[in-house]
Structure 1
Amino acid sequence: MPSSTPPLQSAVARERWRARAQAWLPWVVWAVAVIAEVLTGSDTRLGPVLAAVPPLVAVAHGWRAVLVSGLAATLTQQAFLYVVEAAETGTWTTAMTAMSGVTLASALSAAARVRRERQVQELHDVVGGMQRALLHPLPPELGGYRIAGFYQAAHSDARVGGDFYEALETPHGLRVVLGDVSGKGLPAVDATVTLLGAFREAAYEEADLGRVALVMDRALRRRQRISEDHRFATALIVEAGADGRLRMVNCGHVRPRLVDARGAREVALPTYGLLGLFHLVPKGLPEPVAHTLAPGESLLVVTDGVTEARGERRDFFDLAAFLTGPAPRQSPVALKEALLDALARHTRGHLSDDAAALVLTPGEGGVTRAGGTDARQEG
């Protein structure tokens, strides 16, 4: 599951260019002030402009660089004053005191920024490592189906989200889940751990797909009571049989799409309720909806990080338009890569929320149908 594409790489390049610009800006200001001072003569005094150099250095450098820049700016300012015959001792003292104060404040600011960035990076590494351990790469084939997908983290420091997925070959067939925990940060990751653990256990033990959803809901509710963190989650749970038959339970999730050579259509899949909030729904288990994949048909499942990804004009990513366009459909990997590229182009590599998607397609040998019946919606 690659996490970078050419559009994302170009976004990284832009970030690097911006960082270089911030690093060089204070020295450009210093050089311009010196050149302008020399060219304009004694009529125009640009020494005060040099007071901007240490704060600009503090934006991209550490406190040592700020002190060096402050010393350079101070010496340059004193040289400017030296050429002014009217410069008195009081003027020198005032200029020196002001520049020293600005430099000291900028150095303290730079030290605090570096310390904060280090803490954020450490937290991001810890949380990101936890999430990578949870969301291990899916095998290209499992249970007679080809699988492809991606998880793309939002570009927002350590605000890691709660998108999750899993695919397991069980005695009841291939079982897949794609979900999204509300909120971000460590609590969202902790809720993800709870839900994935519940799914991995229930997928093997529970024959009824509705009970798998119920076990996940109960696990999340126990976590809510223990932690007093009342976040919920959406999820789509899929059971894929060897005959191409799918059984699906939608727990408040984005509806899946059926993709074939002609285009795509949304599955008419009713929503039962959000995980962690089943107690607000009338009694009874979620009822799975059945569908049999037609030859050449794939199931595409995404999180709302895909459908609600915003572009430069704050417009949402149009998944329907992407699927009706020239999107490659010859394999799950090709469709996944095309979707990831289109998403990166739309957002210019800056997702505001985590995004995940899965594509499920019958294996190369096709699916077996009892009696050779055609694929139809069955519920």
Structure 2
Amino acid sequence: MTHGRTGRMPDNGSTALQPRLPEPPAWLRWLPVLYVAAVLLLEPVTPVDWPVSFVLVAVPLVAAFAHGPVVVSAATVFALVMEGVLAGTPCCAGRPVGYLLDRHYVASYVCTALVGALGTILAAHRIRRERTLADVRYVAETAQRVLLRPLPHRIGRLRLESLYLSAAAHARIGGDLYEAVPTPHGVRLLIGDVRGKGLLAVETAAALLGAFREVAYDEPGLLEVVARADASMHRRAAWLGGAETAERFVTAVFAEIPAEGDVVRIVNCGHPPPIRLRDGEVRELDSGRPAPPLNLGMLVEEPYHVDTYPFRPGDQLLLYTDGVTETRDASGAFYPLLDRLRSWGPLPPEELLDRIHDDLLAHSHGGLGDDTAALAVCLLPEEPPDA
């Protein structure tokens, strides 16, 4: 698959990522050997005026697809030697020894040497390109870990797991975002989707995450957190300027799970509604009162409101971006998230996101068309006090 993907975010203590060159498939690495073997099998059974050994001129080029310049150079020397051996072996289709220096064979030697030189240059250029690509992907991975830093698996009574898949080729970073912040007011969650793609979307996601991490701890109410985030997005859009200022928006869901009191408070800013999973029941937490995305709140008088839902021990909250539900199969059908959740039954957060991850790739045949993020949060039973 050519799409960047991170799957579940790694632990904070995981080994630092290092640039690695892509490993070519095994069949491509062995292709030069198979190519030479095919020539050796054909040579004895072809007529004298059909010198199949001439096709050995392509061996260096075949080797350049998967190997470095040293191997390509060695393949060139090997091809030259094999051409001479086949041309000077009388047993090959009754060919006399004099064919070794026949002008046609000499021309073949020269062509093989030239193709070998070009193949060596091609292999060196390919290696440089692959190193550059590996460095770019390494930088993207590092930026991903800074922007979407790994979430702790446990915050108080909450068990958390996260998933991120990028549809961008050769990169693992995009405009989808999520965060979880423990505060004196409870654990506050955010998931969002920046309009647009590319570097501007990544910068906007970073700005929103920075604002949320700051205000989530300071503001006593969830509405105040949303208002501050909306103001931050509006200032950023105005600072960027241009005719599309009003179109630079972010859909998002803000959630708050207090340390005491088994409820979840949600402010939905034009985003797909969260899903609560409880004892086999799958319910979208949608109040039916639509709210605008961030940076569009100034268009209505009272843009945002808090909805409160019961959230008992054992309940699970699934936050996700529209990259999940808008993933299409070969026939163009959208991914049926609710049906899948109902058919799978209760699953712990880690297994749930693993199942969604694998099922999305299977549904789309590896052809994700949009960035995808998801956050699963389960409320654990309260631990009894020590005796």
TM range (shorter): 0.7 to 0.9
How far has the Cα of 1:23 moved from its partner? 0.4
C-alpha offsets along residues 166-192 of structure 1, whole Å, 9 cap, x if unaligned?
112223332100123345555444333
DSSP-derived class of the 1:325 partner: helix
State the alpha-carbon separation in 2 of the partners of residues 285 and 188 from structure 1.
Answer: 23
Write the distance in 1 (CA, Å) between the matches of 2:77 and 2:274: 62
Alignment of 1:227-266 (within 5 A): 232-241=249-258, 242-266=260-284
Aligned partner letter, 1:42: V
Equivalent residue, structure 2, for 1:91: 104
Indicate if the aligned counterparts of 2:64 and 2:122 stay in contact, CA closer than 8 A.
yes
Counterpart of 2:335 (choices 317, 328, 353) is: 317
Aligned equivalent of 2:293: 274
- What SS does structure 1 have at the residue aligned with 2:178? strand
Q: Deviations over 1:257-316 (max 9, x none)?
A: 12122331222254433334555x334442233322356432211123332345577654
What whole-Å deviation, never above 9, does each CA across 1:15-38 have from its counterpart, x for those lacking one? Answer: x99711110012101111122102
C-alpha spacing 1:26/1:304, structure 2 compared with 1 (3 Å): farther
Separation in 2, partners of 1:217, 1:344? 34
Q: Where does the alignment leave 5 or more consecutive residues of structure 1 unmatched?
A: 5-15, 367-379
Find the counterpart in structure 1 of residue 372 from structure 2: 355
Q: Which moved more, 1:144-153 or 1:23-32?
A: 144-153
Aligned residues: CA RMSD = 3.4
> Contact 1:258/1:298 (CA < 8 Å) preserved in 2?
yes
Matched, 1:171 2:184: yes
Q: Tell me the secondary structure at the aligned position of residue 137 of structure 1.
A: coil
Classify 1:137/1:29 alpha carbon distance in 2 versus 1 (closer, same or farther; 3 Å): same
**TM-score normalised over the length of structure 2:** 0.77
Cα 1:334–1:364, aligned 2, differ >3 Å: closer, same or farther?
farther
CA–CA distance in 2 between the matches of 1:334 and 1:291?
25
SS in 2 for 1:38: helix
- Amino acid aligned to 1:139: P
**Residue by residue, what CA displacement relative to the aligned partner does 1:163-222 show, whole Å, maximum 9, x if unpaired?**
322112223332100123345555444333211110011212334434433433443454
- How far the C-alpha of 1:141 sits from its partner, in A, is 3.6
2:118 aligned with 1:118 = no
Contact 2:144 2:172 in 1 (8 A): no
Structure 2 runs not aligned, ≥5 long: 1-6, 11-21, 90-94
AA aligned opposite 1:358: L
- Equivalent position of 1:11 in the other structure: none
Q: Provide the secondary structure at the position in 1 that maps to 2:25.
A: helix
Deviation at 1:99, TM superposition (A): 2.2
Structure 1 contact 158–185 (Cα < 8 Å) conserved: no
Query: Which residue in the other structure is 2:381 paired with?
Result: 364
Q: CA deviation at 1:228?
A: 6.9
Amino acid at match of 1:124: R
- Counterpart-to-counterpart distance in 1, 2:62 and 2:230: 51
Corresponding residue to 1:54 among 57, 60, 63:
60
1:160 pairs, out of 158, 173, 192, with: 173
Change (3 A) 1:200 1:110: same
Distance 1:224 1:97 in 2: 63
1:33 pairs with 2:39: yes
CA offset at residue 353 of structure 1? 4.6
Kept in 1, the 8 Å contact 2:192–2:253? The answer is yes
CA distance in 2 between counterparts of 1:263 and 1:68 reads: 65
Residues in 2 aligned to 1:314 and 1:97: alpha-carbon distance in whole angstroms? 54
Alignment of 1:261-340 (within 5 A): 261-269=279-287, 270-278=289-297, 281-293=299-311, 296-310=314-328, 316-329=334-347, 331-340=348-357
The TM-score with structure 1 as length reference comes to: 0.78
Note if contact 2:297-2:303 (Cα within 8 Å) is conserved in structure 1: no
Identity %: 33
- SS of 1:317's equivalent? coil
Output the amino acid matched with 2:379. Answer: P
Higher helix share: 1
Question: Partner of 1:10 in structure 2?
Answer: none
Between 1:84-93 and 1:116-125, the stretch displaced more is 84-93
Paired AA for residue 365 in structure 1: E
Q: CA deviation at 1:250?
A: 2.1
Q: Deviations over 1:88-134 (max 9, x none)?
A: 75423432333233222222222222111111111211221222233
Counterpart residue identity of residue 173, structure 2? V
User: Are residues 1:103 and 2:116 paired?
Assistant: yes
